[in-house]
Structure 1
C-alpha cells in the first residue's frame, strides 16, 4: 500500500499563480489572505462568526537606522525602492514568501534575504506571521521590524448569515468583546554577518471562547510559534483522515498529476471543523475568502459525490442529515449552523440523491434515511408545477441565473435529472429495504424521459427547446443539455447530435468548455462566465468529460479533460469559474475557491480509470484505452485496497494484493 499524502504533496510555487493578488490559506477555523506584492503583508481575516475583512498587517524593516519598506515603491534604486518579492510557496497549512534587498549605498553593501511564513491558527481566530531575516553582507547589522496592524472594523456575523458573499465591514455586528490584537516578542536584533534572526507576530481575532477551545484573554497563551506548529499538525492529521481512502496517482502524462493534486486540494480547503458548525467537518461550497462559507446542496452533492464521500468517511451521513433538515422547498443551501439559505433550487433534489447514492455505495444507508430522502425530494418536486409528466422549474431565480431569457421553465435539465433520481431512489430502496413504491418510481422516470424526447427535442435544430407557460419556446445551446444526456434522456441519435457540438468554435475552447456554445448568437456573452458563455463553472468541464467517458467517447472525453490541465500548473486550488479561450479566471466578483473543483479528480477516477461504484457496495472497473500510462494505487473501498494500472493497450486490477483478470472487458469487485 502506498504511503499516505503529506502536506508537501500539495505545495504550490506561487510564481506560477495566475492570480497572485488572491492567495488565501485556511486552517479550517481561520482563513487569511497574503497582501499582494509584499513579502510580509497580510490582508483580511475570517474566523466565523468573527470577521475582519478590511484589516491589514504591514511590516517595515529598519536596517542600521534606515527604513526599508515591504513592497516596491516609486524609485529605481536605494532604500526608497523597498523590499523586493522573489517568490513563495502555498501549502494547505501556510503561505511562505521570500524577498531580497541588495544595495550598495554610500560605500556600504546592505544585503538582506527575508522569508515570511503566514499560518492561520486553529481553535481560535487569528494568524501567526514568522519573519526570518538573513544578513548576507560582510558586517554586522542592527535590524528591527515595525509591524502595524490596522484592524479596520472587526465584528461578528451570526453563523446563520454566512451566505454567498463575503462579509463586509458594514455587515458585521460590532461588539465591545470583538477585537483584533497584535502580540509579538522582541522586535530588534543585532545580526552578525552571515547570520539570521527570526521575529514572530501573532494577530488574534474574536473574543473569549469556552475553556478547552482556546485560552481566555489574560490567561497564559501558547507561544505563537507553537500555535503555528499546532495548526500545521492539525492539517497533517486532517490529511491522514480525509485522504485515508484516496489513491495516489502515477502517470507519464504531462500535467495530469498536478491537476489531480490541485483538484484534491480544492476539496480539502472547503473543510471546516469548528465545533460550533452543524457538522464536523463542515463542507463549505467555497469559504477561503469568507464567501460561500455555506453548503449548497447542488455543488456539494452534484459534482464529485464519490470523492467527497471518500474524503468525509463516516461523517458523510452527517452531511446528508444536515441537508435533509433544511427545507429544500425554500432553501438551496445550509449556513454553518444548519440554517437554510436562499430559494428553492431546481437541481437540489438530484444533487441530494446523487450524494446519497455515493454514501450508499461506500458505507450503506439505513432504510429510514432513504425513506426521508424520498419524502424530501417529493416535497421539492411538488414545489414546481407539473406540466404533464414534466415540471416547470421557473425562471433563472431557481435555475442557472443566466442574464437573459433562455434555459427556463420546462427544460430538459433538470427534468432529466428528476427521472434519474427517481430511478436511483428505487435502487436505494432495494439495497436498504426502504418501503418505497419502487415500480411506480421507475415507471414515472420512464415517462419523464419519453416526454423530454417527445416534447422538448427539436429534431431540426438537433437540440432541446425550453418551453414557457404561454407556449413561447427558446433554443438555448447550454452545457446543461449534456446533463440531460448523462441522465439518460436521449435516444442514440439525440446523443450523437448533442455530442457533435463538443467541438472548437462551439462548446470547446482551447482551455476549457463554454457554458453556452459560441455558436448561439442569442445567449452567448462574455460577462457571465459562470453560465452564459466564454467559460464555465469549474465543475462543468470535468463533468462533461466524465459524461463522455460514460458514453464510451473516450477520445473526446480526454480532449475535454486535457484542456483543463493548465489549471493544475497555475492555481493552488481551483476558482469558482474560468475562461475557456484563455488560461485565466475572472479577476473580481467571484469566489476564490470552489468545492466543485473536486470534480476533476472524480473524472479521473470514474472516467479515465473507469472505477464505477455501485449502490450495493460493489465496484465495476473498466477503463478505456488510456492516453498514456496512468495508475491509481491504494484506493480504499469498503475495507479493500485496490490498484488500477492503465495503458493505451489495456489495464490491470489488483485487489488486496491479488491480481484479478478482466472478464468481458471489466473487473467486477463484489460487495464486501
Structure 2
C-alpha cells in the first residue's frame, strides 16, 4: 500500500502520535498549583498524598471504589526510622519531597533524607517512587528506588502500611457527578502486594522494591513490576492511537505551546478503555478523581467536537449511538454503562448535533444515524414547553446551575443554539443524503433566531433579557450571551453592543473570563466560580476566543485566549473551573479534570489556525488577518491526507500530502476537495 493512508498507518505503527511522543506531555511537579494530582490508565486512577514522596491516596477503578484508601511508606535505615508523611515546616524531619514529574502513564516523585543519627553518623538517602495506575485490573503499582549517598553501608527496610477505609463495588450506573462512596456492607477488599522490601546498600549503591494495591476481585498472576510495565505499554498504545491524527503545534508565541499540549492532555485523561463500559473509549466529562465519570452530552459535543473527533476516529459514531439510545429527555448524561443519570439538560440536543457535524467532517456519518439524531433533537426540544417559536428551558437545574435567579426559562442561549443545530442538521442531510426536511429545518431555524432578536433583546442594556413564565424579564450578564452571538442570533448592531461588555473589570480578568460580569450586582458572586462569577468553566474562555476568531475579531480573540495561557504552565491537565482574577482553581469540591479542557486545542485548530472542516469531507482554511507570532501545525491527518499549515510574517501556506497551497487573508480557501462518492 502506498500514498497518504500508508504514511498514516506507518506513523501510527511507529507510535508517532500526531508528531507527539508520550514524553512531550511530561509536567514538572514543582510548577503545579493543583491541590491534589491524580493519574489514570483508562482503567484505574489513583491520587498522590500531597507533600509525600511515596504516599498514595484514593483509588477508583469502576465499578470498584476505594475513596478513603491511603498507602503510607516509612523507611528504616541503619536503625533510624524515616517517616514519609509530608509534614511541612521545621517540624518536618522525615523524608522530604524534592520534586517529580507527572506523565501520561503515571507519576514519578523524588525526595531526600540527609540527617545525622543520635551517634553523629550521617544517614543520606535519595528516594524515588513511580506510581503507575493499573490497566486490566483495579489498583496501582508503586516502584521505589533507594540510593545510599553516605560513606558507610546501610541496611534499609521499606515499611508500607495500607489503610483502606470502605472498599466496594458501585454499579456502573451509579457513577454520577460526585465520587461514589461504597456501602460498608458487602465491601470487597484492598490488598497490598510487595516484593524486595529489605535492601543492603553499599556507599553509592542503589536498590529497589515494588508494591501494588489491588482493590476488588479479579486477582491475576504476575508481579507488581510486570503489572506496571504492562500498564505503561498500554498507555503508550492508547496515546498513540488517540493522537495519531492530531497535529503538532510549533510556535514562537510564549506559553501557547504548553497551553496546547496541556489541553490535549486534558482530553487524554478523560478517555477510559474498559470493555465493560458502554463505549471504548468512553469519554468521561471528568473522572480522574472518581467524580463525573459520566458523559455529559454538553461537554462531549459542545466544547471541542473537532478535536475530540480527531482523537476518537471512527469511535465517535459509537459515542453518538450510545447517547442517542439513552433517554436524554430526562437526564443530563450517560453513566459508564450507557444508562441516563441526572436531570434533563437544555444543551443536550445542540451538543449532540455539534459532535455529529464534526464526525461527518472527519470520518463521515451514515444517514441512518442522522435520522435518529434528528428525532432525538426534536424529542429533547419537546421536553421543554414551547413559548411561541422559543422554548422555556426551565430553572437553574436544567441550565447553568447558577445559585441565584436570572438566566432562566426563555433565554437567548440555548434557544439560539437550537436554531444553529437545525441549520446543521439541514447541512448534514445535504452532505449524507438523509431524508430530512431540509427547507423546514432552515425555516424554523430562521424563525427562532428572529424571535430571539425581537423578543429577548434589550437595546437599552445592550444585552438579552430572560423571560419568566409570569411575563417579567430579568437581565443577567452571563457569558452564555456570547454563545447566542456565535449561533447567529445577533445583528451587527447587537453584536457590537454585546462585545462592548467584553472589557476589564466586567467579563475580563487578568487570568481569564468571568462567567458573570463583575458589573452585575444581583448575580455576580465568588462562591460558584463555575457559572456565577469570579472565574468560569474551563471551556468558556477558549470558546469565547473561538467565537471571536470566527467573526474575524483576531486581536480581541487573542486577548481573551492569552489570559488563560498560564494554565498550561501550572496544571498537567485542566480542572473543571478556575478563577479569572488570580492564577488558581477552587480548592475543594470541584472536579480535578474536565473534557472541556480540550477547548484550548479546539480554539487553536479552528480559531487561531483557521481550519474549517466540512461535513462533505472537504477542508477549507481561513487564516486570520493578524497573529501574535508564527504558528505551524504539523501532521494533521484528515480524510487519509497529511496536512501541514504555516502562518508567519503575514504569509500563509498549506501543504497537503507534500503539495503546497498558498492562501491570502481575505477569506476561506479550499485546500482539500470533498472525496468522490
Deviation (angstroms), 1:143? 0.5
Does 1:38 find its partner at 2:52?
Answer: yes
Q: Do the aligned partners of 2:645 and 2:655 also contact (CA within 8 Å) in 1?
A: yes
C-alpha separation in 1, matches of 2:383 and 2:132: 46
Instruction: Provide, for residues 101-153 of structure 1, a one-character-per-residue CA deviation record: whole Å limited to 9, x for no partner.
Output: 11134331111000000001100001111111100001100100110011111
Does 1:200 find its partner at 2:214?
Answer: no
Deviation (angstroms), 1:286? 0.2
Q: Closer, same or farther in 2 for the Cα pair 1:37/1:65, shift >3 Å?
A: same
C-alpha separation in 2, matches of 1:335 and 1:36: 30
Q: Secondary structure at the match of 2:349?
A: helix
C-alpha separation in 2, matches of 1:389 and 1:650: 46
Instruction: Provide, for residues 129-187 of structure 1, a one-character-per-residue CA deviation record: whole Å limited to 9, x for no partner.
Output: 1111100001100100110011111011000000000012xx436436x2110111121
The equivalences for 1:412-491 within 5 A come to 412-491=412-491
C-alpha separation in 2, matches of 1:103 and 1:173: 43
Q: Do the aligned partners of 1:627 and 1:648 also contact (CA within 8 Å) in 2?
A: no
Alpha-carbon RMSD across the aligned residues, in angstroms, is 1.3
Q: Do the aligned partners of 1:259 and 1:567 also contact (CA within 8 Å) in 2?
A: yes
1:137 to 135, 143, 150: 150
C-alpha separation in 1, matches of 2:579 and 2:174: 30
C-alpha separation in 2, matches of 1:562 and 1:527: 25
Q: Secondary structure at the match of 1:466?
A: strand
Q: Do the aligned partners of 1:38 and 1:70 also contact (CA within 8 Å) in 2?
A: yes
Q: Secondary structure at the match of 1:250?
A: strand
Q: Closer, same or farther in 2 for the Cα pair 1:345/1:198, shift >3 Å?
A: same
The equivalences for 1:327-346 within 5 A come to 327-346=327-346
Q: Secondary structure at the match of 1:643?
A: strand
The answer for unaligned runs of 5 or more in structure 1 is 209-213, 216-220
Does 1:9 find its partner at 2:16?
Answer: no
* Aligned match of 1:211: none
1:83 to 95, 98, 110: 95
Q: Secondary structure at the match of 2:547?
A: helix
1:671 to 655, 669, 674: 674
C-alpha separation in 1, matches of 2:653 and 2:516: 39
Does 1:272 find its partner at 2:286?
Answer: no
Per the normalisation by structure 2, the TM-score is 0.95
C-alpha separation in 1, matches of 2:197 and 2:412: 64
Q: Do the aligned partners of 1:156 and 1:173 also contact (CA within 8 Å) in 2?
A: no
Q: Secondary structure at the match of 1:578?
A: strand
Q: Closer, same or farther in 2 for the Cα pair 1:76/1:551, shift >3 Å?
A: closer
* Aligned match of 1:60: 74
Q: Secondary structure at the match of 2:398?
A: coil
Q: Secondary structure at the match of 1:8?
A: helix
* Aligned match of 1:643: 644
C-alpha separation in 2, matches of 1:413 and 1:323: 22
* Aligned match of 1:631: 632
C-alpha separation in 1, matches of 2:648 and 2:522: 43
The equivalences for 1:240-639 within 5 A come to 240-624=240-624, 625-639=626-640
C-alpha separation in 1, matches of 2:318 and 2:191: 36
Q: Do the aligned partners of 1:154 and 1:174 also contact (CA within 8 Å) in 2?
A: no
Q: Closer, same or farther in 2 for the Cα pair 1:73/1:488, shift >3 Å?
A: closer
2:107 to 95, 118, 122: 95
* Aligned match of 2:198: 188
Mean alpha-carbon deviation: is it higher for 449-458 or for 101-110? 101-110
Q: Do the aligned partners of 1:72 and 1:81 also contact (CA within 8 Å) in 2?
A: no
The answer for unaligned runs of 5 or more in structure 2 is 1-6
C-alpha separation in 2, matches of 1:189 and 1:172: 40
C-alpha separation in 2, matches of 1:69 and 1:524: 46
Q: Do the aligned partners of 1:358 and 1:615 also contact (CA within 8 Å) in 2?
A: yes
C-alpha separation in 2, matches of 1:136 and 1:634: 46
Q: Do the aligned partners of 2:51 and 2:87 also contact (CA within 8 Å) in 1?
A: no
Q: Secondary structure at the match of 1:203?
A: strand
**Number of residues paired by the alignment?**
656
Q: Do the aligned partners of 1:408 and 1:467 also contact (CA within 8 Å) in 2?
A: yes
Q: Secondary structure at the match of 1:397?
A: helix
Deviation (angstroms), 1:665? 4.3
C-alpha separation in 1, matches of 2:26 and 2:610: 28
Q: Do the aligned partners of 2:623 and 2:663 also contact (CA within 8 Å) in 1?
A: no
C-alpha separation in 2, matches of 1:648 and 1:666: 19
1:175 to 186, 190, 207: 186
